[in-house]
Structure 1
Amino acid sequence: MFEKIKAWARNLKRQIFILYCACKDERVPWYAKLFTACVVAYAFSPIDLIPDFIPILGYLDDVILVPLGIMIALKMIPKSVLSDCEIKAEEMMKNGKPKNWIVGSLIVLIWGLIIIWSIIKIYRFFS
């Protein structure tokens, strides 16, 4: 069973790299690029939208949302592009994942704003 989980995770990682390559391809429609870029950025981001320390919900995004986003994105991209991107993805996987500091910073900013907003609301409630 553990081997099946490892194989599933490897396949998921491979698909993310394929989507990353597809984002940069001109043959992909703009709406597919936009959706795919969001899925890839979220998958590569070191920060989750739902933090892992939140019981059940924290891992829900990693187990359900990311694979679901990958599945939808793969259906939006033409098959010819996917076959070309598979080759590029294999090369990238050997070199390591790309870093997306902009999206990571954006997620940190969103969480910071949520925390500040929450603190202000709590302060006003008790004042």
Structure 2
Amino acid sequence: MYTVWLVARDSRTPLHTKILAFVVGAYAFSPIDLIPDFIPVIGYLDDLLIVPAGIWLVIKMTPKIVIHENRERARLHHSTPISRVAAGVIIGLWLYAIAVSIYLWGY
């Protein structure tokens, strides 16, 4: 996943691939799923299918040299990437969901 994050930030990556990489990364780290995880078996299916398929697609759409260089960078760099923007978006979505829930509960 770190390689996909690096590919998304690489200037040689095509724009449509960057967008897909950001969407896959955001979905992978987002607590909000298409199918809620509390639904037995089916809840985890989206995580087991969508994220790997997205990563595979990003790798297939990215030039081989970009993948190779970013895999090497990921291997040498052992820290976890931190995206304050992504964290802010996820926190904002949760706050919005809570506010809507409180509003709807009140009526």
Q: Equivalents in 2 of 1:60, 1:108: separation in Å?
A: 24
Q: Which has the higher helix share?
A: 1
1:90 to 64, 72, 75: 75
Shift of 1:41: 3.7
- Partner in structure 2 of residue 6 of structure 1: none
Are 2:2 and 2:81, in contact at CA under 8 Å, matched by a contact in 1? Answer: no
Aligned equivalent of 2:23: 38
Paired residue for 2:98?
115
2:57 corresponding residue in structure 1? 72
Q: RMSD over aligned Cα, in angstroms?
A: 2.2
User: Percent same amino acid at aligned positions?
Assistant: 28
Counterpart in the other structure of 2:8: 23
Q: Distance in 2 between matches of 1:122 and 1:24?
A: 41
Please name the residue that 2:88 is paired with: 105
Q: Report SS of the residue matched to 2:31.
A: coil
Letter in 2 for 1:88: R
1:39, 1:53 → 2: CA distance? 18
* Cα distance in 2 between the residues matched to 1:81 and 1:53: 34
TM, length-normalised to structure 2: 0.79
2:32 to 49, 54, 62: 49
Gaps of 5+ in 2: none
TM-score of the two chains, using structure 1 as the length reference: 0.68
Q: Please tell me whether Structure 1 or Structure 2 has the larger radius of gyration of its CA atoms.
A: 1
The alpha-carbon deviation at position 40 of structure 1 amounts to 2.4
